[in-house]
Homo-oligomer: A and B are copies of this chain.
Amino acid sequence: MRTSLFLPLLLLPYALPAQDPAQYVKPIIGTQKMGHTYPGATVPFGMVQLSPDTDTIPYEMNGKYNPDVYKYCAGYQYTDKTIVGFSHTHFSGTGHSDLGDFLIMPTTGPLQLNPGTADKPESGYRSRFSHEHETAEAGYYKVRLDDHNILAELTATNRVGLHRYTFPQADQAHIILDLVSGIYNYDKKNVWTFVRVENDTLITGYRQTSGWARTRTLYFAMVFSKPIKQYGHQNLDSSVYKGFYRKFDQTSNFPEMAGRRITAWFDFDTKAGEQLQIKFALSPVSTAGALRNLAAEAPGWDFEAAKRKSREDWNRELSKVTVKALSENDLINFYTALYHTYLSPTTYMDVDGAYRGLDQLNHQAEGFTNYTTFSLWDTYRALHPLFNILQPRRNADMVRSMLEHYNQSVHKMLPVWSHHANENWCMIGYHSVSVIADAIVKGNIRGYDAMQALEACANTARYKKYDGLEYYMELGYVPEDKNSSSVSKTLEYAYDDWCIAQVAKKLGRTDLYNEFIKRSQNYRHVYDASTGFMRPKLSNGSFRKEFDVLSTHGQGFIEGNAWNYSLYVPQYPAEMIEMMGGKKQFTQHLDSLFTMHLPDAFFAETEDITRDGIIGNYVHGNEPAHHAAYLYNWTGAPWKTQERVRMILEKMYKPASDGLGGNDDCGQMSAWYLFSTLGFYPVCPGSTAYALGSPAIRSASLQLENGKTFTVEAVDQSPQNVYVRKVELNGKPLQQRFISHSDVMGGGKLVFYMSRKPTR
């Protein structure tokens, strides 16, 4: 049983004081089990994510995957008892990982340069901590490090992490800068590390790794608020040739450190209660860039002011939505979800616009903010559509960033899963085209050329080396005997192709429209009418004999089984329903999905989610069926959408550390929550339509960048009144269960009349 961690503020009727929605943000939500969120300090879309890491176990040992590491995608697990340190980069909610760069740990007592183990924290520099002495807020994190008697406080600007450590009296006060530590680490992940002690308060350097991102370098500049007494480093690769550096005692007060695996230490004298501050700036380009970022964003030493500023940054973004909720927990869920959607993509350029490109060259972002951390298989579904409403300017810059990636790509492909100047090739599809189509079709074209974007989309979709595309283009489907997860790929390629066709249509490129609208029909090739499921097909044209509709492994699907994935034709729901036997039969399929009882073996093999992330056989903790609950709108049973949506909202999102039923996936899970709570959802990004569901708030008003306000109101709202009796848009009854993007962006009012009973 999960219970809220948060004491009620006793504010009724849970109306938001407009000036401080950040008070409802609880970064601790999702930090337990599968949420994979991090509790540390960051600002909206910030480059720095300064957050505690509670363990750093290796991803791979002796060449074999260590499944335990998966818990540490965000570096933090709520049930852990120790903190290893505070590192400056984290993914939010991912199901694979990297980062954890530049771990800082303040310690007292004898110098220790290895982290030690969770069961024996005194064996290393890590410290015990407890949640009683831990605070996680938007832009601020505080914890007491019990073993060292140090109070650690963190805040951040976009590119600078700010640390404030309150020490006890100590003649042995250390700051450890561990360049070996990292998330999803393993023996050979560190490629090179480099540290220069520029003077008695300034340190610069970089860390180069080869992990999920194959060739990644991140630079830093670090300033202490008081002079270093002495310093040194440990180099774990003592066998590496050291040349004539052997002339020096490099372990102590030698200002140039370099090697594959460096851990540096800096010593200070501290008085009781003395506060040592650190400003730690990042740059994708150079240590000089990090210094410029530092000077621009954190010139002084007023930690409190920086903390206030980061909260203001959050409030400015969060207050774009004003909500009246049914409970304070709902406010917490809502604003924490909004917070989670604003964590990624992340800024990836210096204050002067310099960034590293996919081609490993330094580039200058002219007239846009360059972003990275594109988890596109997840986020094309609801996150980027949400941005087209709440963050259109940023979303256009994200499209521009994807196009720059394309320009820099030797494959001439848009990003699949990219971060920090790398393409990770994670998951499937080419869903950049969905994000681009959604922006273009919704008229959010600024700072990039739509025709060039279309060309990028078309070329991406024609790159035959990519993941079965050659077969797909030849046969109309990906054959499972040639390329695994073939059904998922076929279905998603077909959807993406439809997106490209929509852009081509809008831009008058009939040739491309014809090419891709034809491909968008390819979902039909993997439908097996004899079973009523999408099913893996072989290159000889026959369906594969072995077929388990429940399993997610080796069945032609990824992160979803045939039950969930067979619903994946978001571009043609009506046609799909017809193909699958018509509305009645399809309704039965959907009903069964949500209600069937599954054996335990099923859960054991399901990735990225807990049992809590599943309702019947409906997997909400993964993304492929995120649109499924809304499909009842096409079967003539919208009340079933309404009850399912409200049920999912209640079961899958709780104001607790284990409140998320699956990976938040860079905000996609949270974006689903936000749309669904507001009463509408983008079933098919790339179209302008939103399917209506059942709002879970009393009211919400969205302050749009165009100066207009879109309001949702739920009349007769209550936890039981999950059904929608009628809907009015700007005072006029809506006949369809859909609204369009222009309805939202034009401002106006959407009123749901709620009821305890379905309106059939």
B-binding residues in A (CB < 8 A): 59-60, 63, 186, 188-189, 191-192, 194, 196-198, 206, 208, 210-215, 237, 239-245, 247-248, 253-256, 258-260, 286-288, 359-362, 410-411, 417, 424-426, 465, 467
Contact = CB atoms under 8 A, between A and B. Distances in A.
A243 B212 contact: yes
A192 B189 contact: no
Contact of A361 (B208, B258, B286): B286
Nearest to A186: B241
A241 B210 contact: yes
B426 A361 contact: no
A241 B192 contact: no
Contact of A359 (B63, B196, B213): B196
A361 B354 CA distance: 14
Nearest to A193: B215
A210 B194 CA distance: 12
Contacts of A215: 192, 194, 258
Chain B CB within 10 A, most for which of A59, A63, A361, A467:
A361
17 contacts: A188-B260, A191-B260, A192-B192, A210-B258, A210-B259, A211-B243, A213-B243, A214-B243, A243-B425, A243-B426, A244-B425, A245-B425, A247-B467, A248-B425, A254-B465, A255-B410, A288-B361
A304 B212 CA distance: 47
A420 B335 CA distance: 52
Contacts of A192: 191-192, 208, 210, 215
A214 B254 CA distance: 15
A189 B60 CA distance: 23
A467 B248 CA distance: 7
Contacts of A259: 210
Given A192-B192, A465-B248, A256 B410 contact: yes
Given A188-B240, A214-B243, A288-B361, 17 more contacts: A63-B239, A186-B241, A188-B241, A192-B208, A196-B359, A210-B240, A210-B258, A211-B243, A243-B425, A243-B426, A244-B424, A244-B426, A245-B425, A248-B425, A253-B465, A286-B361, A287-B360
B411 A255 contact: yes
Contacts of A287: 359-361
Contacts of A244: 212, 417, 424-426
Contacts of A239: 63, 188
Contacts of A247: 425, 467
A410 B256 CA distance: 7
Chain B CB within 10 A, most for which of A191, A243, A359, A411:
A243
Contacts of A417: 244
A69 to B, nearest CB: 12
Nearest to A428: B247
Nearest to A427: B244
A288 B426 CA distance: 28
A180 to B, nearest CB: 15
Contact of A243 (B241, B362, B424): B424
Contacts of A255: 410-411
A136 to B, nearest CB: 31
A360 B194 contact: yes
B361 A241 contact: no
Which 9 A-B pairs give the minimum distances between C-beta atoms?
A244-B425, A255-B410, A244-B426, A196-B410, A215-B258, A188-B240, A288-B361, A212-B243, A191-B192
B241 A189 contact: yes
A256 B258 CA distance: 27
A284 B239 CA distance: 27
A360 B288 CA distance: 10
Chain B CB within 10 A, most for which of A213, A256, A424:
A256
Contacts of A248: 425, 465
Contacts of A245: 214, 425
A609 B244 CA distance: 21
B241 A60 contact: yes
A406 to B, nearest CB: 15
Chain B CB within 10 A, most for which of A63, A210, A213, A465:
A210
Contact of A59 (B241, B362, B424): B241
Contacts of A196: 359, 410
A423 to B, nearest CB: 8
Contacts of A210: 192, 240-241, 258-259
Given A241-B60, A245-B214, A362 B286 contact: yes
Nearest to A189: B241
Contacts of A194: 215, 360
Nearest to A468: B247
Contacts of A424: 243-244
A419 to B, nearest CB: 12
A370 B244 CA distance: 24
Given A192-B191, A239-B188, A258 B214 contact: yes
A411 B198 CA distance: 9
A356 to B, nearest CB: 11
Nearest to A426: B244
A243 B96 CA distance: 10
